[in-house]
Structure 1
Amino acid sequence: MAILSFSLAVVVLGAYALYKYWDICRRHRIPRGLKSLPGPKGYPIIGSVPEVPDKNGFIKFADWGKQFGPIYQCNLAGDNHVWISSDQIAKDLLSKKAAIYSDRPHIPSLIDDNRTSAQYLPLLSRNDGHTRQRKFANIIMRESEKALFHRYPELESKRMLNELLDEPERYNHILESFISRVTCRLAWGHSEGSDELKQRARELLIGVSPTGSLSNKLPFLMALPDWLSPPKAWERRRAATERTWFQTMQDQVVNDIQSGQTTPSWMRIFLDGRSKWGFKSDLEGAYAVGMHGIAGALTIAAPMQTFCLAMTHYPQFLPMLHEELDRVCGGRLPRSEDRPSLPFLRAIIRECIRWRPPVPTGIPHYLIEDDEYNGYHIPKGSTIHPLEWAISRDPEMYPDPEAFNPLRWIEPEYPTYQEPLTQFPTIINSTQFGYGRRTCQGQTVSDEDLLIGIGSIAWLFDIKQISEDSTVAAAMEPMKSEHKIGMNKKATVSNEELNAGLDNEKPIIQGPTMEEKFLAKFTYPGAESTHNEPPKKPKCNEPAYKPLEWGDITQKPEDPTLDYSILLIAKPIPFKFELKPRDTVRANQVRALFREGVENGDFPETREYWGANQGRDKPLGWSKV
């Protein structure tokens, strides 16, 4: 049986390789009068894959742009990828020719086709599903903005600051929890699902990242039976868990409406007018809301983590930020209305996104017909990358681009300066949010979360490099145990496995299945042991395992500010720094605000959905990420 399975896999792989070779030859026929885009030669079939490191591969693509020009192409495992290092070229193609450049490439690892399934709006092709969901997205974002996002960021900032006072070494986890809780409230009106939302986001991120699921590198694996393809079986379980959870969250809002206890949310907007959206089913509505939650769960946290990194290595700018916040906010936390009076805070945020963009390779587009640009042939079927890492490093627009320098946004001698300073700088419509018809619709949410989140941290804390003989300071006036409601007591850092519990509202599918029996014998990206033994308690600031997104942690870059994760969303690997309250008065004020919120019931505990150990040994539940 094993020999037969191996032989079948070899035959399928060989057939796939021959097909890719024929397809490459067919697509690279150059029309008369045009020339092929420059780029690295690569190797037969696999192309330039061996030349691109998993760690900070975007730097390699940017270096090739310096060598071959601002638009070039390369073969990656048989697919043609076009890399754009110029904002102007990106606008010329992705915005001015949006009719043919607005599709998304196929992601092999997903069970349901990302282009047509109407499940993943950011990954959908241009079709009816994309049109109706984008219309819905425009409305929910506009309504949220008009309501100042229901003050959810300001509410959750109090819990975030209190957690940072208690356990500053867990900053990475705490910042992601802040964003996830705000996003959960916006999506469904509740914060209890924040841990689950982070897990759904991480698992999907593995599925869509080139350096995540093995089936993105070897797509033929998705054509094999589940028992012969661990990545396919893992993805099937992930997709089923995601679908069940989205439906569970939708049902919760339905029950809230029926009981008269509903709070403002995107799901409520959908349910109140479900007939006018043109969705095919309530399930499509569940995905339309859920995907906006997933899209914001981790991406917005990355610039907040970058802020901590930048202030550690560029400490000269923190006193300037403190001065502005003290002058505008005085003895209270920042509010949404303070935005026009906080240009330096907005400059800090804008520079965090430029200096270390959360999606450095850009979200890829897909070309649906042959095109030409300045005498170069761009073949149909190419994946087009607006390479944000390079675009944000144009030395003419950003002098000394490798330096973190927020002054470039507020001083007139810089090319990036704009007036009025009550509006600019702003992250709205920045290149990081995409081009043409595929610009991110959650820009205003990101803008609000970052203003309140980063502003609140800077209002309360000093940030410094940690010296060898010092430790991260313990917060003053430690919180009494009865006030820890709503906090994840067992969590350590961003990617650890969080505490588990039991939810009896949803039936658990019975097993074991052949998939479970097979997967128990193997490990693979995202795999989880099926043993029932409880995980060992990790050391402080260390997860129970090294998360997939960290990559090879032995490969440390020379520049410590470039120690970034390897998946599509890049964020700093957790590092040590000193996070101390600026004074006792502010710290005690935050404590009091949090206690008041606890008494009002504002900070409910995290809810768990899949049974003991978060369902890791069940057909539905968490996988190791």
Structure 2
Amino acid sequence: MEGLRIIIFYLAVPSLLFSAIGQILSWRKRALAPKKVFPGPTQFPVVGRVHDINRHGFWKDLKRWADQYGPVYRTSMMGQEFIVISDIKIAEEILVKRGHIYSGRAQVRALYDHKSGPAYLALMDRHDTWMRQRKWVHAAMADFHRQHFFGAIERETKRFLAVLLMDPAKFHSYIREHSGRIMGRLAWDDATQGNYSGYSADRTLDQMSISGPMVNVLEPLWKIPHALNPWRKYEREREDTQRAWWLNCYKVAKKRYLQGDLPETTWCHRYFSGLQKQGNVELVEELKDEIFASCMLGFQNLVGVITICGPMQFFFMAMELNPEWQKKAQEEIDRVCGDRMPTTADSPNLPTVRACLKEALRWRSGTPLGVPHQCEEDNMWRGELVKKGTIILAVEWNINRVPEMYPDPENYHPERYLEKSWPTYMEPLSRYPNFREGVGMHTFGFGRRTCLGQHIVDDEMFVTGAAVLWGFNLYRKKCPLTGELIEFDTEATNAHVILETKPFPCGFEPRSAKRAEQIMAQFVDVQGELRF
């Protein structure tokens, strides 16, 4: 192993030297370029500012620099230029009003060819494949939301409450499985893929993150020949495995569709019926077309897991740590729903629940860095030349902590959405707050790169969160030896580009013996509709 490390090091040295020479040769050109007007941390030759970055909490470094240099500043890492934004209006100015220039995607070095597609819609550059997939997903998501996803979220939530009742200690992993089961049902009518969806999503996120493979920070290492490159070998195996899984799910769903056995309440059914309307009655496709569709549906499944399970974990944490708000939400649920589990139809009448959910996502951002945009052509902005390839980071963690918009930002305040004295208040409360529109939608990105999944996030977060509060009291656990409350780090996460919490202690107790009976009874009622 030591010998292999030495070989890898010496293979990487030439790449690093070439990068250094390129940097030196570019200094002359930079001296002739327009002077930069944006401030930023001190840069060092070749590496820029990478030596003191915490790869497992990068957003906190960006917040520290924002406090020092202001809401827009520059930095660089290994030759890659960044503009970092910590103000919503500035972010909208460049990413929305100038979206025709600033809607590219940065290269994630540890992934193969993601900018060209077709595997990861959210990571592609803007081209025909991206446009075709985005148009289809947008229409499919809107169509399903009009039907509130055909009750799939409610049915799976009844199962989730039952497994939580039977084994509450595993709540952390159950949340991921729950999100995966919902997406598996909607994509292919196969909820059994739930656990694997979570596993596959976790592997993918690790590859995408600064905290993941070293090549995402030291890009020259990626140029080491494949036979001696552990990062290339791992990624080839991971992506091939993922694509084969997606393609198999697609082919199984196609066979079921042709046999008349695939429900209309799936995205696959919608896709296949569209092909038939175009004249392809037997659904005969070339492999490249099957790969296109299976990746589009597979990624939709994957992103529906990773964008929901982390925020739901943070919501449970917030309820545990803020029992007064838990009680207020439960009183509202009891008043509106009584002995039945809440559904999407109850949303207009449960503003306190929605406020608690919305504030959890602000308090602990699921995507603290935001998703990077890349400048697609040289242009002047605010008196400074922004070069093609520059990455724009609208840092969600920072935007959520602007005190003028979010007073007392470090603390959990659902009332900021319920009381007129707060800047984020919106009327009517039968509509706001939510995850579809209104304040705080920067969580879902900007302009042409806005996430297409707001509607499913809105429905799934609401139904799951309200149902858990209907069924359980969440409480802080105590040490069995000392009787003291167990302390834990509320910011401890996996450090991926989309976060999940590290496992944390949280107790779940049914609110009454009768409620426990109701949880099990409603689970029995839907068992026949669940695919295990």
Name the TM tier (shorter chain).
over 0.9
Instruction: From the superposition, tell whether residues 170 and 25 of structure 1 become closer, same or farther in structure 2 (CA, over 3 Å).
Output: farther
Which residue of the partner structure matches residue 603 of structure 1?
Answer: 530
The normalised TM-score by structure 1 is 0.79
Which residue of the partner structure matches residue 461 of structure 2?
Answer: 450
1:12 to 11, 15, 25: 15
SS of 2:380's partner is: strand
CA distance in 1, matches of 2:96, 2:433: 23
CA contact (8 A) 2:366 2:499 kept: yes
1:424 Cα deviation from its structure 2 partner: 0.5
Which residue of the partner structure matches residue 482 of structure 1?
Answer: none
The one-letter amino acid paired with 2:401 is: R
CA distance in 2, matches of 1:256, 1:414: 52
1:183 Cα deviation from its structure 2 partner: 0.9
Which residue of the partner structure matches residue 69 of structure 1?
Answer: 70
1:186 Cα deviation from its structure 2 partner: 1.2
Which residue of the partner structure matches residue 109 of structure 1?
Answer: 110
Which residue of the partner structure matches residue 450 of structure 2?
Answer: 439
CA contact (8 A) 1:91 1:435 kept: yes
More deviation in 61-70 or 588-597? Answer: 588-597
1:13 Cα deviation from its structure 2 partner: 3.1
Alpha-carbon displacement from aligned partner over 1:263-308 (angstroms, at most 9, x marks no partner): 2211221122137699961210111111111111122011110011
1:95 Cα deviation from its structure 2 partner: 0.1
CA contact (8 A) 1:221 1:232 kept: no
1:21 Cα deviation from its structure 2 partner: 5.0
The one-letter amino acid paired with 1:238 is: R
Instruction: Trace 1:196-207 onto structure 2 (pairs within 5 A).
Output: 196-207=196-207
CA contact (8 A) 1:24 1:79 kept: no
CA distance in 2, matches of 1:445, 1:270: 19
Instruction: From the superposition, tell whether residues 160 and 28 of structure 1 become closer, same or farther in structure 2 (CA, over 3 Å).
Output: farther
The one-letter amino acid paired with 1:604 is: R
1:405 to 409, 413, 416: 413
Instruction: From the superposition, tell whether residues 159 and 5 of structure 1 become closer, same or farther in structure 2 (CA, over 3 Å).
Output: closer
Instruction: Trace 1:2-151 onto structure 2 (pairs within 5 A).
Output: 7-22=10-25, 26=29, 30-31=33-34, 35-111=36-112, 113-151=113-151
The normalised TM-score by structure 2 is 0.92
1:139 Cα deviation from its structure 2 partner: 1.1
More deviation in 382-391 or 370-379? Answer: 370-379
Alpha-carbon displacement from aligned partner over 1:389-444 (angstroms, at most 9, x marks no partner): 11111111111111101010011111111111111011214110000100000110
CA distance in 1, matches of 2:95, 2:28: 26
Which residue of the partner structure matches residue 528 of structure 1?
Answer: none
Which residue of the partner structure matches residue 505 of structure 2?
Answer: 576
Which residue of the partner structure matches residue 159 of structure 1?
Answer: 159
CA contact (8 A) 2:19 2:46 kept: no
The one-letter amino acid paired with 2:531 is: P
CA distance in 1, matches of 2:385, 2:482: 58
1:22 Cα deviation from its structure 2 partner: 4.2
SS of 1:105's partner is: coil
1:314 Cα deviation from its structure 2 partner: 1.7
Instruction: From the superposition, tell whether residues 25 and 45 of structure 1 become closer, same or farther in structure 2 (CA, over 3 Å).
Output: farther
1:143 Cα deviation from its structure 2 partner: 1.4
Identity level (%): 32
Q: Does 1:591 align with 2:502?
A: no
The one-letter amino acid paired with 2:506 is: F
CA distance in 1, matches of 2:493, 2:139: 35
Which structure: greater helix fraction?
A: 2
Instruction: From the superposition, tell whether residues 418 and 13 of structure 1 become closer, same or farther in structure 2 (CA, over 3 Å).
Output: same
CA distance in 2, matches of 1:29, 1:163: 65
More deviation in 269-278 or 48-57? Answer: 269-278
CA contact (8 A) 1:408 1:417 kept: yes
SS of 1:377's partner is: strand
Between Structure 1 and Structure 2, how many residues are aligned?
515
CA distance in 1, matches of 2:266, 2:86: 38
CA distance in 2, matches of 1:24, 1:363: 30
CA contact (8 A) 1:102 1:367 kept: yes
CA contact (8 A) 2:8 2:224 kept: no
CA contact (8 A) 1:466 1:578 kept: yes
SS of 1:281's partner is: helix
Which residue of the partner structure matches residue 348 of structure 2?
Answer: 340
CA distance in 2, matches of 1:471, 1:308: 25
SS of 1:562's partner is: coil
Instruction: From the superposition, tell whether residues 108 and 325 of structure 1 become closer, same or farther in structure 2 (CA, over 3 Å).
Output: same
1:60 Cα deviation from its structure 2 partner: 1.5
The one-letter amino acid paired with 1:318 is: Q
Instruction: Trace 1:161-560 onto structure 2 (pairs within 5 A).
Output: 161-263=161-263, 264-274=265-275, 281-429=289-437, 430-469=441-480, 560=489
Q: Which runs of 5+ in 1 are unaligned?
A: 473-557, 606-625
CA distance in 1, matches of 2:28, 2:476: 54
SS of 1:192's partner is: helix
CA distance in 1, matches of 2:27, 2:118: 29
CA contact (8 A) 1:37 1:377 kept: no
The one-letter amino acid paired with 2:499 is: A
CA distance in 2, matches of 1:10, 1:92: 41
CA distance in 1, matches of 2:51, 2:153: 43
The one-letter amino acid paired with 2:50 is: V
Instruction: From the superposition, tell whether residues 274 and 209 of structure 1 become closer, same or farther in structure 2 (CA, over 3 Å).
Output: farther
More deviation in 267-276 or 336-345? Answer: 267-276
Instruction: From the superposition, tell whether residues 392 and 24 of structure 1 become closer, same or farther in structure 2 (CA, over 3 Å).
Output: farther
CA contact (8 A) 2:494 2:500 kept: yes
Instruction: From the superposition, tell whether residues 173 and 21 of structure 1 become closer, same or farther in structure 2 (CA, over 3 Å).
Output: farther
CA contact (8 A) 2:417 2:426 kept: yes
CA distance in 2, matches of 1:358, 1:213: 21
Instruction: From the superposition, tell whether residues 29 and 590 of structure 1 become closer, same or farther in structure 2 (CA, over 3 Å).
Output: farther
